[in-house]
Structures are given as structure tokens and as C-alpha cells.
Amino acid sequence: MTTEYENGQLMMRGHKIADLAKEYGTPLIIYDEDKMTSIMNQYHQIFKSHQVPYSISYASKAFSSIQMIKILKRQEMELDVVSVGELYTALEAGFPVEDIHFHGNNKTPFEIDYAIKAGVRFFIIDAIDEIGLINELAKDLSETDRINVLIRINPSVEVNTHEYISTGQEDSKFGLSLSNGAAKTAIDLIQQSEHLSFKGIHYHLGSQLSESRPFINAITNVFTWLDEEDINIEVLNMGGGYGVKYTQDDVRFPIESGFDEILTHLKETLEASNRPVPHLMIEPGRSITAEAGLTVYEVGTIKNIHGISKYVSIDGGMSDHIRTPLYGAEYEVIPVKLSDDNAQVSTHVVGKLCESGDVIGKHKMLPHDLKRGDFLAVKSTGAYHYSMASNYNQMQKPAVIFVSDSGVREVIRRQSLPQLIENDVR
């Protein structure tokens, strides 16, 4: 358990959340570091138990920081980056460049050049014209120093998730279609290019998927196509998207049984088409960090519109919690200290930013006697919260701390007021 109540106080690994909030200020994102490492180990274990060549490439967009990347390195993870900024962060943290994979649907020439010069030799091609671009920017490399590439394809499988996080369908800004010939054209072009080596296939079906079925269907579709086109691959990257429990209603992707099913189906498919097992890759993001994190806020203004609604405002909002305003994502909001009589009322928890849509959660059952100065915690905010944070309303980005059995450490300091204007020309 990441968090639990002890004597009415919310705790994480023996630390009172209220004490951490007082020490580091709010809004504060608190991660259970041990929980993250145990999930990384779980991924390693399941692939090891199937005795297949594999790598687990963490999608750094979920949450990236120097200390996070250092943990990933210790845990023998690889890394997926989608921008020069994510790459820079990884390199500054000392992450091995040979374990970094460059993604993105519009890698700029600057980014490609920067990555090649930094030593990145693994790109995921997302569009036909990227092939010529990367080949051109790699022109100074020696004959033996080639850029390994996967192509990102859309395997056209149905996924049951929000439109904004569904990505593997035909009509998408990401990837190349199998049916209209784009994927095959891309492979032909790569094979004719001077500096690129075709290694295999990548797909990412979407996020917050709770069962193995879409991954199994993708394997069937992809290998049917590979057989039809007579294409050999050395690498199969099945993407990320393994679902987490934001609320009690969500179903977490079962890592062990889910990958047992996926890998068993994969082995059967490979056997049927007489292929060797390729190097397998997955790219989990949220499943490693989301449930390990929570955000603590201090309660400010409380408005009771009698007979209609109760609004509780917190000292952050859509600047550090955009997924609810953006696509209606639901979270659990809980008190950091339980009230003595346990009586609860339906409460709208809202941020302090100047948008009516700046809502953290509606109709949350919270203590009736919640008052200014109390703390509230929003659970499962470890992925796509800090990384999606903005300075709207000149809000400062929150501080981030890691808690583990061996102690508490600050990993990102709260953005300071001078930092808000450090790039402004005076």
C-alpha cells in the first residue's frame, strides 16, 4: 500500500503526509519510490520468466526528472524520449545514450541532429518524410555506424479508452498505416537508405488499457501483415498503455497474467509463422509512476451555495492537474486527516486558476467540517501531472519529493518566483 491512515492521519511509508506538506509546502507531489522500483522489478520478472530477449523502456513523458532517471538506470530500464528536452534531461542524469529511443510524430531537424550528435542510434520512425530527414542528418556517420530504426505502425485494433489517449487506429496523427501501404513504403525506403538499418515494428495502441485482448489482437494483425509482405523483424516494440487505478472503478492492467497471455500468444504466433523470437520491448509510463504519486493541496476558500453545491478551493489546480479539465479524468480526493465523526458531504474540489473548467473533481465525498488550512490529497497523480504542469496564471510548478523505507528526499524544488520571469527580457 502506498498510503494508509494511522490514527486518522494519512501516511506514506511511516511518514505523516501532513508533516511532509508543512515541511515542503503545497501543492506537493509525493512519490513512493519503493513502489515504483517494485513495479519495474515486476516487469523484469515476467519477461525473465518467459526467457525472451527483452527491454523495458520507460516512457519518460509520464514523469521525468534527474532523480527519476537515475532510478531507471539503477533498475536496468531503457528510456523512450520524444523531444530534445526529454533527451537532455536523460543525458544530464547520466543515462546511457545507447539505451535511449527517440520517438515523436514531428521530430524537428534540430532534435534529430542533436540526438545523433549525442549518440542516439535508435529512432522510431513515425512518418515517411522522416526517413530522408534522418538519413540526411546522419550523412557524416561512418558506414558501420548506422541509425537503427523501428517504424511505428497502426495495427487497427479497437481499444476501450478515451479518444484522447487512443492511438493505434487508422485515423491518427501517429504512425503509418498497414492497409494503405505507407508502412511497407517506409520499410522499402529505409532498406534503400545509406545510414538507416531497419530493425522492426513499433505500435502503441492507446493508454489506460486494462486487459490483454487488444495487445493479443495487435500481435495477430501485425504478424499476418508481416507474413503477407514477407518482412523479417529483429525487434518488436508493443508500446505502453498498461492501465492503472485512478479510482475504485478503474481496472488495473494485470502485469503478470496479462503478459503471460500476451507472450504466450506471441510465441504461438511466431511458431505458426516459423519465426525466431524478436527482441521484445514495451514502453510503460503511467503504470510505473501514476499510482506511486499523490498531490497534496491546502484548502483555502470554501463556498457553500445552500441547497445547490459546496465548493472547496485548493492552492493549485489545472496548472498541476490538467487531466481532469482536459479530458474529464476522474481521481480520488481524500482528506489528509480524517474527521472525528466521519460525516461526509458531497463536495466540488476546484483549483484557483481563472477558468470555470479548473475542476479537480466533482461530487467528492469529503469531511463535512473541512476548513481553510486543512490538507487534501489527490491520489494516483504520479504520471502526466508534473510533466504536464504549466505556468498558467504564473503559477509556480510544485515541488516533488520521493519517500521510501530509507527516508524522504526532495527531487524537484518548487519553482521560485524569479524563475517564473528568468527568460523575460526586461
- Residue 354 a catalytic site member: yes
- Indicate the residue type of 257: S
Nearest-approach distance from CB 252 to ligand PLP, in angstroms: 12
Nearest-approach distance from CB 129 to ligand PLP, in angstroms: 19
284 versus 335: smaller Cβ distance to ligand PLP = 284
Partners of residue 79 on adjacent β-strands: 58, 100
Q: Which residues, 6 or more positions from 268, have their beta carbon under 8 angstroms from its beta carbon?
A: none
b/e sequence 362-382, b meaning 16+ C-beta within 10 Å = eebebbeebeeebbbbbbbbb
Residue whose CB is nearest to ligand PLP in the complex, by number: 285
Positions that interact with ligand PLP (CB under 6 A): 59, 62, 80, 103, 204, 207, 239-242, 283-287, 383
From the candidates 251, 272, 354, 365, give the one annotated as an active-site residue. 354
Answer for the pair 89, 63: CB distance below 8 angstroms, yes or no. Answer: no
| DSSP letters spanning 364-376 | EEEETT--TT-EE
219 versus 334: smaller Cβ distance to ligand PLP = 219
Nearest-approach distance from CB 210 to ligand PLP, in angstroms: 11
Centre a 10 Å sphere on the Cβ of residue 245 and count the other Cβ atoms it contains. 16
3 versus 166: smaller Cβ distance to ligand PLP = 166
Q: What is the length of the chain?
A: 426
- Cis, bond preceding 398 (omega within 30 deg of 0): no
Residue recorded with cell 484557483: 352
80 versus 298: smaller Cβ distance to ligand PLP = 80
210 versus 287: smaller Cβ distance to ligand PLP = 287
Nearest-approach distance from CB 203 to ligand PLP, in angstroms: 8
Nearest-approach distance from CB 351 to ligand PLP, in angstroms: 23
DSSP state of 353: S
Whole-number Å distance between alpha carbons of 319 and 316: 7
Catalytic residues: 354
